[in-house]
Structure 1
């Protein structure tokens, strides 16, 4: 008789614990959200502000499950609020009696703010969204009474700031969920994954598919870490004081990952093209690093191992090169240079991790590093045009019909135009939020005319509104329903229009609801007629051109800070494009191919320029090297077979000149190594370069890719 083992209860307990933990986090978020809303509402009423609902609505717009994110939103929201208030005063002062000019200037300002929001993919975009929204909420209600604009500005600023202050305090005090914890965990995971990946690659070559996956992971880790770092500085003084160290550690991670990829690309090429002896010698030189990484040890012990291995490398390289013929010796020297560069950068990366842990390493210079973004101003211009057209459409309708609720329609269109200008599918996203918004409006109608009319006093007001807000906030915590939940909370908070005392006017309520629906409809219409650049094939082509153009940047930009600029902008551009491409598609493969080629070639150019910046070269060689660098930049900017042939010829000429150059310049061997590395990348018929090679060479590869 056989027995069937019963399933273990441990997985069920773990699944139950995970569910309860997620539900607990969700309900804590709901508690913080409703608490912020009602405290802001109560304070606004106690201070007798004319529109308590503005303060309460602010807490809904900035709600987030992590307290640091709320603080980041609030910080930028303050700047946006002040800028919007200043713009409102200027516009009203410039066109106090000219409605058409007034609305035209307002539409232009709101459009510019929406365009500015598309240039950022973090909470800085909120400053632009709020600059447009604040200007509208201050100026539009006083369009017929411009003398009251200053009073309107003071009240709106006070209400907005009150909502921001309440959200910040509640989210920082009531069961806060810290971004710093996520940041530290992400930084540790980035370090452990990279060290572990290198530990598993000590055999030399890495399969192309594994390198592509690694590149995707490296890019995602670097961009995610920067996004978290830019938010955590608002919630934690210690994190703020260590922000520069974290940014430097991230930059060193990007640099060492690029060197790591270049080294293994070179090993793959040598092993494919008859350079097994040189590849074996490079792998032997690389092996001590693998041994240093061979088992998990504390970072300080790992640092000692790496330093020992790096200090032994020059002697090992000199002994190995003596065993190779001239052609393979040159291949080996290129590989040896990459191994030593990789070892030096890996050591710096480990030092950065120790520094983040509070262990200061003597001799380490804390450089100033910045993570720069790859922004596309044409896409921002398109968002500006679309938003201006939306506002102009509503303004014309308002003027033509003299509808008293036209300002409300424009206000809501301002919010949605800015919030979803950066979405790759704005029609779909806006429709989801709009359906939630309509649900919130229906709930608001029931709440106002069937509940609030029967109660008196603030405690009963809270008890009456609480169930409605809890439903929307809970839906916001569900990934599949988050947009619907956001719309539900916004629609409910906006349509309630809580005042002190409360006014129950069904006609005004219905007109206000129609105005909001009209504003939402105008936004959806214009998103459909003028789709955003984000996610479009047009923008992806522009971003790909910008990514390839990074090689031209490496060839011509000033050297101070160029390494950091090159590494960060590359990854930001790649992350933008890869999120809009289908994984495994031809487009995705082409993107990976170009990204790896840009990383390797651009970094080699930067190192070449650095190595001969302070060491004079023979004039003929310097001219040839400059010509090669310029030709490479032109090819990557506008790739074609003639441009490829010109770049290869220029590199060959510079390399020939370097091999025969007289003199004892310290930089000469390094320049020769960089040029040889660039040439090996150019003639790699397993890379994206294959499509630009002569037909007999390129025909061996049907789908170009990077090795």
Structure 2
């Protein structure tokens, strides 16, 4: 009976048919760190010992390196937020509305900045925001003690992060390095498998769902690599090599998709010589060490391949073959760099080609990768934050509500904590429900269990059952919200102090204020910030088309790696949202991938003009203008161009193709391949150009 009840309550997280020892170890470590923190806080006579215990559970992460990095960011955020509160409160203490507005504005600014950085380092600014509201609103009754409150906050946070870091680092730590290397190996293996299948079968592969995962995995490598410098592993892979590998992996999907498109367009009209070359490429990709050819040999074979029309091929087919060979050569070069970079990540030092590959782009690999940012959603999150905090504060000030400051503090934390989600409202409601569920447990401890025990050992023993369960839940990503709500709600309601004092009136008032703060945050988020998965996916797709239109009109070409990084990041974001909304993932995500491909083709087209020291012709300017107009049309939510515009754009591309075919220069080949790619991406079902269009 008990097992069935717990399974229903916790969704099978505890009794799911299998026991995960890693989650149990994580839970035990968190509990040991929490008890160590609360014990030291008692011994040191700190004002709010429960802050240290809260910090332990907020800092706990599955990997030791992640715990240490989160500890650093939490410390920085706490120092920054406490300093802001100390600066604002004494200046504005006689103007409560102005002080509230100033503190809320600071916190909103920090929230906005944190939402522009999707790496773990954003946690520092998130903390800087709601730490300021916590310290400031806790000091309103005694503003002359704001420095003492800020100092106490810093002391207890430092104690909590030190205990969490020490325990998770010393007791059976899980290192980030191993998890990152395993993820990279899986991505490299999948990439080679897809490419092998395309080259050897001469047809598109069917692993689209796995490809969308690769798009998100490349971004996940960025997140995990952020923790590397704090990791416990003895041998850490160089971050520069990981960044370079990400850049190369970002090129895999568009290049492989272009290869498959050309193969699909050619169908059975391939020559035996072409099939033989593709087979050689496939054999090398399948087993590079056992292949008779090196990557350089294969790239040379591609460069020397003679593209001549056969009896079964049209002149358009020869252009498709030229594009296929160029993309295949680029794919081999990319895969060779990926394999060498992966060897470096595994500890190899003998990679002469890698030095040549990465030397010219060293500046790129030192910097952070460019990830998607949505300023409008960040602004809406700030609006919801303002509404929640100022709403609670207005009632607090107008009614002199004793616990109003607590409601405002909780509203600030709740409105900020899950603001990076598309729709934080359901998560906030779940958090509120599970916080309410923690209150009866806290009441039992405060008014039944604690009066019957004495001493710290009995306190720790009595707290073990619920917190070991909560820690086990926290280790499971599916249940982390309910675990945090239960844990933080229970810790806050218990308000552990050196001397036990149970006051039911205070308990009820404080917890009622906390729940009101949560509900106000929920309502503000529901009004200002809720976005469905379908709407979020549409926004991501629209951002891609807008950027593509800007790229077409830009005078200075963008860096290829930067373009591929941000577009692939969007692709990794849009695919799961399309799946959640019930949309056609293959079609919509495929359009995003097509936008990524066209961006790379545009960059190649522009670079071919720059490298040839040519001035843009009127014809090319006309093409770029029409492309920009087409991309803006797609950004407006249209899936197809109007017939007149469609015909005009295709004719302009065909005209540019005709001019490129008149020159045999290598730089013209680059331009030709780019134009073929644009035509195939925009008009995949269009008939081949007329014979006078490509001669």
Q: For the superposition of Structure 1 and Structure 2, which TM-score range results when normalised by the shorter chain?
A: 0.7 to 0.9
Deviates more, 1:487-496 or 1:110-119: 110-119
Q: Is the 1:437–1:491 contact (alpha carbons within 8 Å) kept by the matching residues of 2?
A: yes
The yes-or-no answer on 1:616 pairing with 2:631 is: no
SS of the counterpart of 1:581? helix
**Match for residue 57 of structure 1 among 54, 58, 61:** 54
In the TM superposition, residue 241 of structure 1 has moved relative to its aligned partner by 5.8
Aligned equivalent of 2:678: 678
Q: Tell me which residue corresponds to 2:573.
A: 576
CA distance in 2, matches of 1:631, 1:665: 26
Q: Is the 8 A contact 1:204 1:267 kept in 2?
A: no
Q: Deviations over 1:40-60 (max 9, x none)?
A: 112222222211111111112
What does residue 5 of structure 1 align with? none
- 2:460 matches 1:462: yes
Quick one: distance in 2 between partners of 1:329 and 1:666? 16
Specify which of 347, 356, 360 is matched with residue 336 of structure 2. Answer: 347
Query: How far did residue 29 of structure 1 move?
Result: 1.1
Residue 513 of structure 1 is matched in structure 2 by 511
Residue 276 (structure 2) aligned to one of 284, 287, 293: 284
Name the CA distance, whole Å, in 2 between partners of 1:303 and 1:57: 60
User: Aligned-pair distance for 1:71?
Assistant: 2.4
Alignment of 1:544-623 (within 5 A): 544-556=541-553, 562-582=559-579, 585-617=582-614, 619=615, 622-623=617-618
Selected match of 1:259 from 245, 251, 255: 255
| Residue number in structure 1 paired with 2:5 | none
1:229 equivalent in alignment to 2:231: no
Shift of 1:32: 0.8
Residues 1:88 and 2:76 aligned together: no
Asked if the contact 1:628/1:650 (under 8 Å) is kept, the reply is yes
Q: Does 1:357 align with 2:359?
A: no
Structure-2 change in CA distance of 1:19 and 1:437 (3 Å): closer
Aligned match of 1:14: none
| Counterpart for residue 528 of structure 1 | 526
Structure 2 vs 1, CA of residues 332 and 563 (structure 1 numbering), >3 Å: closer, same or farther?
same
User: Does the CA-based 8 Å contact 2:237-2:344 persist in structure 1?
Assistant: no
| Separation in 2, partners of 1:441, 1:611 | 67
**Aligned mates of 1:140, 1:222 — CA distance in 2:** 41
Deviation at 1:217, TM superposition (A): 3.5
Q: Aligned in 2, Cα 1:572/1:483: closer, same or farther, shift over 3 Å? A: same
State the Cα distance separating 1:257 from its structure 2 match.
3.1
Question: Mean alpha-carbon deviation: is it higher for 44-53 or for 216-225?
Answer: 216-225
- Aligned-residue offset at 1:211: 5.7
**CA distance in 1 between partners of 2:279 and 2:457 (Å):** 71
Instruction: Answer whether contact 1:85 1:138 (CA < 8 A) is retained.
Output: yes
2:329 counterpart of 1:331: no
Alignment map for 1:18-29 (pairs within 5 Å): 22-29=19-26
- Superposed CA offset, 1:431-476 (max 9, x none): 2222221222222222122222233322222122222322322333
Contact 2:266 2:317 in 1 (8 A): no
Query: Which of 294, 301, 306 is 1:305 aligned to?
Result: 294
Aligned equivalent of 1:658: 660
The reply to whether residue 168 of structure 1 matches residue 165 of structure 2 is yes
Report the equivalent of 1:178: 175
CA contact (8 A) 1:563 1:603 kept: yes
Out of 371-380 and 240-249, give the one that drifted further. 240-249
- Structure 2: distance between partners of 1:348 and 1:159: 48
CA contact (8 A) 1:616 1:665 kept: no
What stretches of structure 2 of length at least 5 have no aligned partner? 1-14, 635-640, 689-695
Match of 2:628 among 633, 636, 655: 633
Question: Is this contact kept in 2: 1:115–1:382, CA < 8 A?
Answer: no
1:15-35 CA deviation, whole Å, 9 max, x = no partner? xxx989843112111111111
Instruction: Report the alpha carbon displacement of residue 249 of structure 1 after superposing the two structures with TM.
Output: 0.8
Q: Which residue matches 1:669? A: 669
TM-superposed CA distance for 1:684, in Å, is 1.1
The answer as to whether partners of 1:233 and 1:239 remain within 8 angstroms in 2 is no
Q: Given the alignment of the two structures, is residue 542 of structure 1 paired with residue 539 of structure 2, yes or no?
A: yes
d(CA) in 2 for partners of 1:310 and 1:448? Answer: 73
Equivalent residue in structure 2 for 1:406, among 401, 404, 407: 404
| Deviates further, 148-157 or 487-496 | 148-157
Contact 1:111 1:386 in 2 (8 A): no
RMSD: 3.0
**Contact 2:425-2:526 within 8 A present in 1 as well:** yes
Instruction: Quickly say closer, same or farther: Cα 1:379–1:240, change in 2 above 3 A.
Output: farther
For 1:20 and 1:174, the matched residues in 2 are separated by 27
Q: Which moved more, 1:365-374 or 1:342-351?
A: 365-374
Provide the secondary structure at the position in 2 that maps to 1:582.
helix
Q: Secondary structure at the match of 1:133?
A: helix
- CA distance in structure 2 between the aligned counterparts of 1:108 and 1:131, rounded to whole angstroms: 12
Aligned length: 658
Distance of 1:303 and 1:219 partners within structure 2: 32
Cα offset for 1:321? 6.2
Q: 1:194 to 1:665 in 2, by over 3 A?
A: closer
State whether residues 36 and 59 of structure 1, in contact with CA within 8 Å, keep that contact through their aligned partners in structure 2.
Answer: yes
| Greater displacement, 476-485 / 355-364 | 476-485
Change beyond 3 A, Cα 1:260–1:475: closer
The equivalent residue for 1:702 is: none
In the alignment, the residues of structure 2 paired with residue 239 and residue 42 of structure 1 have an alpha-carbon distance, to the nearest angstrom, of 35
Shift of the 676–506 alpha-carbon distance from structure 1 to 2, 3 Å rule, reads: closer
Q: How far apart, CA to CA, are the structure 1 residues paired with 2:234 and 2:558?
A: 26
**Separation (CA, whole Å) in 1 of partners of 2:435 and 2:25:** 23
- Alignment partner, residue 209 of structure 2: 213
Distance 2:292 2:123 in 1: 42
The 3-state SS of whatever aligns with 1:144 is coil
Offset of 1:108 from its aligned partner? 2.6
Does the alignment pair 1:197 with 2:197? no
Match of residue 444 from structure 2: 446
SS at match of 1:344: helix
Instruction: Give the drift of 1:280.
Output: 5.9
Q: 1:586–1:20: structure 2 CA closer, same or farther, 3 Å change rule?
A: closer
